């Protein structure tokens, strides 16, 4: 196999009550200076904006016609090209710096370079959380059924609502880093999307994010009509860490007897933080495929380090819940070159074994984060279009 070394970037969030716990630093990235980051950002911006226009034959020529094949899957040419450019620029993975403010800003900068130019209705608002108001963004389809001045629907059936939790290892990411993906889901999925800016670690270790996610879902169910959405079709979803929060929220709603989500959209979810459980994919894709083992260790230490909860607690590791029966249908998406591939597959299999309706789709040529890379083209665009189409179909049948 020919493996091209690669890497990536991160974003911003508010801090609150710093803990006395001091997590270990990232094993690779260090603390790059502002000048170096500025140069990298300028180059990255140019290349990411040009990438959709570069023909595959040119990308293959740059890659010297080498391919990357692991476990019978061949890496998408566009992503291989992107990873190679990142490696040349000295970028290693999701986390760009041990300085969290820099790492968070970097992820936001990367997201700005990947612009899908998608027009939908946008409204920034706040929803009540357990420790104060949470920032949120409501995306509404431009052709949504009309709402009168009292915020009541016409006789046309209103669109469903997806409560979305962004990824970023519970440490990085925010509404802005996932804005383009939420716009796509809203427009092509014909659904309202409520993106939640939950509290991040290490300022707010687990269970803060879980509590925020669940509170936001309960608020969305109670206020769906005010948002112009169908209160009978409120789904939860997210990518990576956000997929974890969506899965945990579905479990908490079931446990509390609260109305269940119409669907769980789990995009390459984190489902098992228990350190003794090492999967084949975490070993195979520990480095060079955007999300690295060093990134995961960095984020895990900050999310779990100051908590009294065990990593096997289902609020942290939904795969390890004693009972998965009675949960809502799940649409689970995994990538063939993602270190989280196997735990996502394990969760899909465990849900199905418990009698839950599961639609699991694995995209063999893709890496972690592919849903955010759809504007670059290639297999990421194809897979993300399929993801949104499947989401729309599931919510239409509800």
Enumerate the active-site residues. 240, 338, 368
Residue recorded with tokens 């409560």 = 163
Query: Which pair of structure tokens corresponds to residue 75?
Result: 């890496």
C-beta of residue 29 within 8 angstroms of C-beta of residue 102? no
271 to 169, 263, 283, 342, 380: CA distances (angstroms): 12, 17, 17, 10, 22
Q: Nearest Cα to 77, choosing from 48, 54, 50, 43?
A: 54
Query: Which pair of structure tokens corresponds to residue 329?
Result: 């249908």
C-beta of residue 290 within 8 angstroms of C-beta of residue 367? yes
- Measured on CA atoms in the order 62, 66, 71, 73, is the torsion positive or negative? positive
Q: What are all long-range contacts of 142-147, with beta carbons under 8 Å and residues at least 24 apart?
A: 142/187, 143/190, 144/192, 144/228, 145/228, 147/228
Would strands 229-239 and 264-267 be described as parallel, antiparallel, or unpaired?
parallel
Given 3-state DSSP classes, what are the helix, strand and coil percentages for the chain, each rounded to the nearest 5? 40, 15, 45
DSSP string, 278-329: --HHHHHTSSSSSS-HHHHHHHHHHHHTT-SS-TTSTTT-GGG-S--TTPPP
Q: Nearest Cα to 143, choosing from 170, 122, 118, 121?
A: 121
CB neighbourhood size of 219 (10 A): 18
DSSP string, 48-91: HHHGGGS-HHHHHHHTTT---EETTEE--HHHHHHHHHHHHTT-
DSSP string, 180-240: HHHHHHHHHHT-EEEEEE---TTTS-TTHHHHHHHHHHHHHHHHTTTTTEEEEEEEEEEET
C-beta of residue 107 within 8 angstroms of C-beta of residue 11? yes
């Amino acid at each position: 196999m020919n493996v091209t070394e690669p890497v990536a970037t991160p974003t911003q969030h508010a801090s609150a009550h710093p803990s006395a716990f001091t997590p270990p630093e990232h094993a690779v990235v260090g603390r790059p200076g502002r000048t170096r980051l500025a140069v990298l950002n300028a180059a990255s911006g140019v290349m990411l904006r040009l990438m959709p226009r570069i023909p595959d034959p040119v990308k293959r020529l740059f890659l010297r016609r080498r391919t990357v094949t692991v476990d019978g899957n061949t890496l998408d040419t566009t992503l291989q090209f992107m990873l190679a450019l990142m490696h040349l620029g000295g970028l290693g993975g999701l986390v760009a710096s041990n300085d969290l403010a820099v790492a968070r800003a970097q992820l936001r900068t990367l997201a700005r370079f990947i612009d899908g130019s998608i027009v939908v209705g946008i409204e920034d608002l706040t929803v009540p959380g357990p420790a104060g108001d949470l920032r949120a963004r409501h995306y509404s389809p431009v052709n949504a059924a009309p709402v009168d001045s009292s915020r009541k629907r016409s006789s046309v059936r209103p669109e469903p609502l997806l409560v979305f939790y962004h990824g970023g290892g519970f440490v990085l990411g925010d509404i802005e880093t996932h804005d383009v993906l939420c716009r796509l889901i809203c427009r092509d999925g014909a659904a309202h999307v409520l993106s939640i800016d939950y509290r991040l670690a290490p300022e707010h270790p687990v269970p803060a994010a879980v509590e925020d996610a669940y509170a936001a879902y309960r608020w969305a169910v109670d206020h769906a009509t005010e948002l112009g959405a169908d209160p009978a079709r409120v789904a939860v979803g997210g990518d990576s860490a956000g997929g974890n929060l969506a899965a945990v929220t579905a479990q908490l709603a079931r446990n509390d007897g609260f109305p269940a989500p119409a669907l769980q959209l789990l995009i390459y979810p984190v489902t098992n933080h228990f350190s003794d459980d090492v999967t084949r994919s975490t070993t195979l894709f520990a480095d060079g495929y955007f999300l690295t083992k060093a990134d995961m260790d960095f984020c895990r230490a900050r999310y779990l380090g100051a908590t009294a909860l065990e990593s096997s607690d289902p609020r942290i590791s939904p795969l390890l819940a004693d009972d998965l029966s009675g949960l809502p249908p799940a649409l689970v998406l995994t990538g063939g070159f993602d270190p989280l591939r196997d735990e996502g597959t394990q969760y899909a299999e465990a849900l199905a074994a418990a009698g839950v309706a599961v639609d699991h789709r694995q995209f063999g040529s893709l890496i972690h984060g592919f849903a955010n890379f759809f504007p670059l083209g290639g297999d990421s665009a194809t897979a993300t279009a399929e993801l949104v189409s499947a989401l729309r179909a599931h919510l239409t049948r509800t």
